[in-house]
Every structure is written in C-alpha cells, then in structure tokens.
Amino acid sequence: MTTLYMIGDSTMANKSPDNGNPEHGWGQLLPEFFKPGAVAVDNRAKDGRSTKSFRGEGLWDPVLKALRPGEWVVIQFGHNDQKKDKPHFYAEAATAYRGRGVWRSCLRGIWRGRSLGCRSIWRKAG
C-alpha cells in the first residue's frame, strides 16, 4: 500500500473531537477520498507550525526517515509563516530569501524526498 505523508499547519492537521470541537483540518478528512486499502494517509501536520518551525523542531526528520520509493508527501505551510512577532516561526522573505527564493531557502531543505524516489504533487516552476 502506498503511503501519503502530510506535513503542514493547523489548516491540514488532525483535530481532537474532545469537548465537542467541530473543527477539522482538511488532511484529517482526506482519507475518505481514497478507496479502502489503496492509500495510507499519515498526517504529521501540527497546529501552529510554519515552514521554519516544522523543520526547526525536527518534525520533518521522522517523515524523511520513513519515506520509501513511490510514496507521496503533501507540504502545506503559509498560515503561520507571517508571524513577525515570533522569530521561531518567521523568516523575513525580503532578506532571508533574497536572491535564493523560498524554494532554495526553506522547501528544498525540507523536500529531500525526491532523492529517495518519492513523488510530489507539484513541480517547481522553470
């Protein structure tokens, strides 16, 4: 069975139904769109994470170690990346990424899965 790993923020993350919480991240419902037994969805998204903090907290490392050829990774960040008052999350795009772009500065460091034979659902422009 193919595994689809998901890394991202609260908009993708699994939510607990405790206390009648009706909120769900879209990744929590994604398995319902696959035929039973066709795809194992492993949602590692975490509330409150940014591109920078997910990697900085070491949350990407276990996914990278688990990846096998032919598997998929869905990466979705941005919701928390704009928090200037929280240096743990924020990197100033105009200076941190100048001349290199966000792909080279953040995502390439996260997305080494291609070298392992994994698939992406998007391609870098150009």
Q: What is the pLDDT of residues 107-117, one digit of tens each?
A: 555 556 666 67
pTM assigned to the model:
0.74
Please determine, looking at this structure, whether the domain spanning 2-116 carries the CATH number 3.40.50.1110. Answer: yes
CA distance 29 to 115: 29
Distances (CA, A) of 65 to 23, 87, 105: 30, 27, 21
Sorted by sequence, the CB contacts under 8 Å of residue 14 that are 6+ apart come out as: 24, 25, 27, 28, 43, 45
Report whether pLDDT(17) > 60: yes
Q: CA 125, CA 116: separation in Å to the nearest integer?
A: 21
Per residue in 86-95, pLDDT (tens digit) is 555 555 554 5
pLDDT at 125: 47
pLDDT-based confidence at residue 106 (cuts at 50, 70, 90):
low
- Are 113 and 73 in contact by the 8 Å Cβ rule? The answer is yes
